[in-house]
Amino acid sequence: MKTTGADLIITLLKRQGIETIVGIPGGTNLPLYDALAHNPCIRHVLARHEQGAGFMAQGMARVTGKPQVCFATSGPGATNVLTAIADAKLDSIPLICITGQVPTGLIGTDAFQEIDTYGLSIPITKHNYLVRDARELLHIIPGAFRIACSGRPGPVLIDVPKDVQTAEIEFESLPDPGGPDPAPGPDPGRLCAAADMIRAAHRPILYIGGGILAGGAADDLIRLAEKSSIPIAPTLLALDAVPAGHPLHLGMLGMHGARFTNHALEACDLLIAVGARFDDRATGRAATFCPNADIIHIDIDQSEIEKIKPASIGIASDAGEALRALLPLIEPDSRREWMAEVRRLRAEFPMELDAVEDVTSAYGIIRHAAGCLPPDAIITTDVGQHQMRVAQAFPFQTPRTWLTSGGLGTMGFGLPAAIGAALAAPARTVVCFTGDGSFLMNIQELATLAEEGCNVKIILSDNRSLGLVHQQQDLFYGSRFIAVNYPKSVDFAGIAGCFGIPSTRLAESENPAEALAHALCAPGPHLIHLLADVYDKVFPMVAPGGANSRMITRAQ
């Protein structure tokens, strides 16, 4: 079998099940694009910025749970995509990024658009490669997919010099596609010890993170919680693991979580952490988090166990395998006193969503939008006040319908991630909640959205400010506002129109609720513009570095 390095890459990607690639061509990856041109078995989507391409691939990966691919050229193309790669690393998203590089003979000479992509990407990838010989691609491509989806998922970067792409090679047969290694099972002795602790606990709580979704363990989690009457406190990334309204669902914990959730964690005597890494936005000051609780920590990544909090029992295992093995070891328990205490805390410290009946309010638009959408609608956000409000108020029902940037907190994530989600699930509605500050970060991807005609609705809360930064400057910096407000009003609806995307200005609608419903139900892309008050803060809130038990409320 005879082929070029570039053609081999496309062939191997097709064998991995890749149907769509997002990227931008440039001088050093043109052979790769030429291979795509005469191998139309894979669709290519042209992004307008490499960061957007990376987030579109992330959107596809977050919806499908499978590795997805983006392309970038060398130099600025590679540096532009690094933010999306770093975001994938912190949120454990399987992503394959293939970058072009200057020919091998020019590496190290400061050639045009040369950058040490391999070196730059080391700390923000699960693994990376610099391909020196086209024959290496036979094991690098399937190996990259195996690494990206095995154990704790993550991004892999493959840097391919231009001469490697054009090199002709011969080989006897193609390798098998790369798939995940068998998930590590839990240690039986530690499982039995964990079951004993759960049976003995009076006030247990399941603290869950994105590992529940990565492990496909949402159903196993609910079965265990229901059998032993254990409330569930999800992190930001795990909000769609448990249907909203489930009696054991406490809602999000942490910095902008519900007060009753944080108070319940304060009272619990056993914390069962599954697929969660004790991030500071979830725990607040770590030393004061769950001060009266023993900890069982289940995580597929051994390095996360006891990294932040000491664990009485640490179990390095896939979340689904651990929960399924634990279930028969747990006896049914109604925990009547603990359930009564949780109900009391919920009544005493309710999550207060102001003006939720008003569709033009910050919370109202979220709830009204939810009422217009099917349970499998996919929700993305950017980063800021709107993100926290959606986390507090949107009633998620289905796993893998909630796409947000958690660990890196990347403004500009929402729109391209929504496009990627729509590319992966074209029959479903995708809604991107964003703010004006975040939206401006990757607004150029409106061109991609318009070209693809994706069924993406953008709900833009416009307060002419970096809202969450403004909130912290107001609360913690003596209201000394600097570099946070946008004096120039932007006609976002007009900009969308220039791209050929219809829009709705709710402030100008005679019946805003009807206008919102019509926009959400219409086919294709649509921008919904909402004017917002910059002084409308997100509460409750834990001060940065503070304890979760000392939440700031609107009344304070």
DSSP assignment of 140-199 = HHHHHHHHHHSSS--EEEEEEEHHHHH-EEE-S-PPPPP-PPPPPPPPHHHHHHHHHHHH
How far is the C-alpha of 520 from the C-alpha of 44, rounded, in Å?
27
- What pLDDT is attached to residue 392? 97
Give yes or no on whether 2-170 and 188-348 have one common fold: yes
79, with CB counted inside 10 A (0-12, 13-18, 19+), is: middle
Exposed / middle / buried, residue 22 (Cβ in 10 Å: 0-12, 13-18, 19+) = buried
**Tens-place pLDDT, residues 370-389:** 999 999 999 999 999 999 99
- Domain residue limits, the chain: 2-170, 188-348, 364-542
* Mean pLDDT of the 458-482 span: 97
CA 346/CA 453 separation, integer angstroms:
43
Per-residue pLDDT, 548 = 93
- Diameter of the chain by CA atoms? 72
Select from 3.40.50.720, 3.30.70.20, 3.60.20.10, 3.40.50.970 the CATH code of 2-170: 3.40.50.970
What pLDDT, on the 0 to 100 scale, is given for residue 1? 84
**What is the rounded distance in angstroms from the CA atom of residue 20 to the CA atom of residue 56?**
10
Looking at the chain, the whole-number percentage of residues with pLDDT higher than 70 is 100
Question: CA-CA distance, 288 to 547, in Å (whole number)?
Answer: 6
pLDDT tens, 42-71?
A: 999 999 999 999 999 999 999 999 999 999
In order, the DSSP letters of 439-460 are HTTSGGGHHHHHHHT--EEEEE
Model pTM score: 0.97
Residue 330: per-residue pLDDT: 95
Average pLDDT over residues 297-316: 96
Query: 188-348, which class in CATH?
Result: alpha beta
pLDDT of residue 555: 62
pLDDT tens string 341-360: 999 999 999 998 999 999 99
Q: Does residue 427 carry a pLDDT above 70?
A: yes
CB burial of residue 475 (10 Å; 0-12, 13-18, 19+): middle
Residue listed under structure tokens 């318009």: 450
**Strands (E) located in 327-466:** 378-381, 402-403, 430-435, 456-462
- The matching CATH number, chosen from 3.50.50.60, 3.40.50.970, 3.30.830.10, 3.40.50.720, for 364-542 is 3.40.50.970
Cβ neighbours of residue 555 under 8 Å, at least 6 residues apart? none
- Is residue 39 predicted with pLDDT exceeding 90? no
Cis ω before 540 (30° cut-off from 0): yes
Region 266-291: mean pLDDT is: 95
Average pLDDT over residues 498-524: 96
Residue 259 or residue 556, greater confidence: 259
Q: Is residue 556 pLDDT above 80, yes or no? A: no
Cβ atoms of residues 131 and 140 within 8 Å: yes
Across the range 334-347, mean pLDDT stands at 97
Residue range 161-174: mean pLDDT, rounded: 96
Core vs surface per residue 131-148: b (16+ CB within 10 A) or e: beebbbbbebbbbbbbbb
**Cross-strand bridge partners of residue 156:** 96, 127
Rounded mean pLDDT, 277-286 = 94
Q: What is the pLDDT of residue 180?
A: 96
Within 8 A by CB and 6+ apart from 20, the residues are 42, 43, 44, 45, 60, 68, 423, 424
